[in-house]
Amino acid sequence: MKCTKCPKDAIINLRYNGLNLCRNCFVEYFEKRARVTIRNFNMIDAGDRIAVGLSGGKDSSSLLYFLKNFSEKRRTEILAITIDVGINDRDSKYGKETLKNAKEVCQRHGIEHHIYSFKDETGMTIDEIYAMFKSAKGLNISEQSGVKICSNDVAGGSKGLCTYCGVLRRDLLNKKAKELKCSKLAIAHNLEDEGQTFLMNIVRGDIEKIIWGSGLIKDEQLIPRIKPFIKSPEDEVKLYAKINFPGLNFEHICPYRKDAYRKTFKDILNLLNRRHPGSNFQIFGNNQRLRNLLLKNYKVENVRFCPICGNLCRGEICKRCELLKKIKNNRKIKSKKVKVTDLK
């Protein structure tokens, strides 16, 4: 298989447009699409100080590397923030390996790196939250043949561990980026992530979530988020990571990541794209079109702000405060139990 653009051997075939690309032409093609995405969505301005949320996985490592090179020719600054969530139970190498990757990526490329502990900020690691809620039966977690399963219920009221981790980690990233005086927060969502989220919102009928992604409602508490890889297919991000980080292992999977609901959408979209290459790009385009149509009829006064922290929210309090409250209450129950046994 020869490269469509030069005489070299191709390393990838893009089924959605028929291109065969060699290593160099692929990197050029991949980076150009991300640059065009940044320009089309006005993601970056001159003088921006951009924090990249770096988990140490393939997506965020690739995004950091890309933005580092991107910023060298422009008047922008890049730094990385890693939240160490504390996932080390059951001999899982996930926590240690991803943290090691994150440090390695920053060291190799001379990038300012800030690491914060999830436990220092919320009072518990993810392992501890899992153990606590499992014993209190307050979390929708089941155990099957030794595999940890964290499932979100279909009606959309997700009570799973992934929700705790996701919401609180996003909140921490925002808080730390603010403390570090950053003007933007870059998140490594790829084309598939966007498609899954969009379809999930459609099935749940969560119109507000579709609209909120547009940035129409200015939330003073939130640093503007940018997603330069929203038009980059996952397998291309994977290849880009493999090319740029030889020797790093990105294969470790979070031991809790069995989010049944999202996984279903991932499987559906994968099947759709195998049979009809390019469907993910169509879904992306139609997401934007639908959002623009909805915006015309949306009343901004529907928006509420959390009375505790001031974040944008829809319930009485925001998801972050709701989760922190649950953690606090469960710790109280636990400490009471300990006192009873102490008396004996």
Return residues touching Zn ion (CB under 5 A): 3, 5-6, 8, 22, 25, 306, 308-309, 311, 318, 321
Helix (H, G, I), strand (E, B) or coil at 141: strand
Give whichever of 5 and 159 is closer to Zn ion, judged by the CB atom: 5
Measured CA to CA, the distance from residue 138 to residue 130 in angstroms comes to 10
Give whichever of 28 and 153 is closer to Zn ion, judged by the CB atom: 28
User: Shortest Cβ distance from residue 315 to Zn ion (Å)?
Assistant: 10
Measured CA to CA, the distance from residue 42 to residue 201 in angstroms comes to 25
Measured CA to CA, the distance from residue 332 to residue 197 in angstroms comes to 35
Q: Which residues contact 285 (CB under 8 A, 6 or more apart)?
A: none
User: Shortest Cβ distance from residue 287 to Zn ion (Å)?
Assistant: 27
User: Shortest Cβ distance from residue 14 to Zn ion (Å)?
Assistant: 13
Give whichever of 5 and 304 is closer to Zn ion, judged by the CB atom: 5
Give whichever of 23 and 113 is closer to Zn ion, judged by the CB atom: 23
Give whichever of 11 and 290 is closer to Zn ion, judged by the CB atom: 11
Whole-Å CA distances, 332 to 14, 73, 99, 242, 329:
55, 53, 31, 46, 5
Give whichever of 5 and 49 is closer to Zn ion, judged by the CB atom: 5
User: Shortest Cβ distance from residue 311 to Zn ion (Å)?
Assistant: 5
User: Shortest Cβ distance from residue 29 to Zn ion (Å)?
Assistant: 9
Give whichever of 244 and 279 is closer to Zn ion, judged by the CB atom: 244
Measured CA to CA, the distance from residue 97 to residue 162 in angstroms comes to 19
Measured CA to CA, the distance from residue 292 to residue 56 in angstroms comes to 34
Measured CA to CA, the distance from residue 204 to residue 155 in angstroms comes to 7
Give whichever of 96 and 304 is closer to Zn ion, judged by the CB atom: 304
How distant is the alpha carbon of residue 16 from its chain centre?
25
Give whichever of 6 and 136 is closer to Zn ion, judged by the CB atom: 6
Residue 186 DSSP one-character state = E
Q: 190 and 30 in contact (C-beta within 8 Å)?
A: no
Please choose, from the candidates 55, 87, 92, 52, the residue with its C-alpha nearest in 3D space to the C-alpha of residue 69: 52
User: Shortest Cβ distance from residue 173 to Zn ion (Å)?
Assistant: 16
User: Shortest Cβ distance from residue 296 to Zn ion (Å)?
Assistant: 29
User: Shortest Cβ distance from residue 7 to Zn ion (Å)?
Assistant: 8
Residues 104-110: contacts with CB under 8 Å, at least 24 apart: 104/248, 105/54, 105/56, 105/61, 105/64, 105/65, 105/80, 105/245, 105/248, 106/54, 106/64, 106/80, 108/245, 109/64, 109/65, 109/68
Q: Which residues contact 162 (CB under 8 A, 6 or more apart)?
A: 150, 152, 256, 257, 259, 262
* The CA-based dihedral angle spanning residues 168, 174, 178, 184, taken in that order and rounded to the nearest 10 degrees: 170
